[in-house]
A = this chain, B = another copy of it.
Amino acid sequence: MNKLERIDYPLKQQPNGDYLWLNLFRINSGNIGPHVHIQANVHGAELQGNVVIHELIDWFINNPFQGSITFVPFANPSAVNQKSGMYTQGRYNPVSGKNWNRNYIDLVNLDEGKSNFKLEKFVRDNISKEYCEVVENFKSALFNICDNIEKNPTDRAQHNEDGNFNLLLQKVASPADIVLDLHTGPVATHYIYTLDKQKDSAQYFKFPHYLIIPAAFDGAMDEASFMPWVQLSEEFKKQGSDLENNFESYTIELGSEERISFSEGRTDALRILNYLGHKKVHQESIIDLPSVDVKTCLLKDYRSYYAPRGGLYEFCKEPGESFKKGDVLAKSLNYKPVKNEESFKKAIEEVLAFEDGVVINHSTSASLAGGHPLYQVMENISSET
């Protein structure tokens, strides 16, 4: 039985004085190996990752493995606790409106004055060192950048809430070789955001849908995690050397929000364990994984349908369901065009598919204004088994 350690960070003091805490759980195998960072619930209503973490902790307590692993369940207490009616109002900060998963920092591209770090110099100093030493030095550098920002806020009096929150998670994740950020969609199937270069590795998750994202920074945790390593590798090349980049990070979408399922959580934990086995975090064999038909598309082909008029919408296709151009995706109900028995039939309109695709998710509410999100779908899909 491996030891489970808990580390507590005071994250935010609420107006009444009570703190919200980040409770990290860490398990160290005692063996040399990668460090894995797994967090869940950065968006308030995206709950299922906390269940998957429960299953993973259970596994890592009871099985031998290599390296160490950090779990951050309930990573965003402010968001999960914020209610509006019975629902969780948790995709963005209710004060600032900022998406909780868009305020991470592009650490390596920061002004040197803020970070006290220059990539070009780092590579110059490390170019002739051993691979492992470079990696350790770079992890330390990332930690120090976070630490520098934390201690020298550009804001007066203290960091703003958004920056403070995301920075703490980045700092905690700085020693990681693998970062998994567990999310869910609205009403959604299972899918994963991955860099093209991680695509083969990503197959070990045995997920049905993959979105291939470019190596660019848009403020999300997966990007904030892999970009420093991408840039490190590029700078090595620029200075005439090659550095293998083994770092991987993923945003993993575990179905629908506002719900949990322990049985699904066990399957999702197995999928992650299968991937972690491939990454040499452990050597156990993972069995009973459901087989999947894999569908992949580029981020540019991940398209949004918006409601063409205000009204109530029936979603005619389920998350994960394929459709053909011209298929009825949704039917809307709206009585405004109805003046009499002749115009009664105008109460209902259909939304047809523009192109072939697969439904990835749909809106959590059937009641939509014109321009509200309806579906997100994959188009131009390449399938592999």
Contacts and interface: CB of A to CB of B under 8 A. Distances in A.
Given A80-B367, A97-B97, A372 B14 contact: no
A162 to B, nearest CB: 8
Interface string A163-203: 01000000000000000000000100000000000000000
A276 B50 CA distance: 49
Interface in A240-286: 258-262
A335 interface: yes
A17 B159 CA distance: 25
A313 B48 CA distance: 11
Nearest to A46: B367
The 4 A-B pairs at the shortest CB distance, nearest first, are namely: A92-B97, A161-B371, A13-B310, A17-B336
Nearest to A6: B339
A14 B307 CA distance: 11
Contacts of A348: 54
A367 B159 contact: no
Say how many copies of this protein the assembly contains. 4
Interface string A19-56: 11101010000000000000000001101001100100
A142 interface: no
Interface residues of A, number: 105
Contacts of A333: 50-51, 54, 260
A339 B3 CA distance: 11
Looking at A1, A93, A260, A307, the one whose CB has the most chain B CB atoms below 10 A away is A260
B306 A158 contact: yes
A9 to B, nearest CB: 12
Contacts of A54: 333, 347-348
Contacts of A81: 14-16, 18, 369
Nearest to A342: B4
A16 B99 contact: no
A91 B80 contact: no
A260 B366 contact: yes
Interface stretch (A82-90, A206-214, A222-230): A82-90
B306 A159 contact: yes
Nearest to A355: B156
Interface string A321-362: 000000000010111101111001001100100100000000
Contact of A367 (B1, B47, B351): B47
Given A3-B340, A305-B156, A313-B260, A18 B20 contact: yes
A18 B313 contact: no
Given A17-B311, A17-B334, 20 more contacts: A3-B341, A12-B370, A15-B369, A16-B20, A16-B80, A16-B310, A18-B77, A45-B85, A47-B366, A50-B335, A51-B314, A54-B333, A58-B344, A83-B365, A87-B365, A92-B92, A97-B97, A155-B305, A160-B304, A258-B365
Contacts of A309: 13
Contacts of A21: 18
A370 B6 contact: no
Given A86-B186, A311-B17, A366-B47, A74 B157 contact: no
A314 B87 contact: no
B85 A89 contact: yes
Looking at A93, A309, A365, the one whose CB has the most chain B CB atoms below 10 A away is A365
Nearest to A161: B371
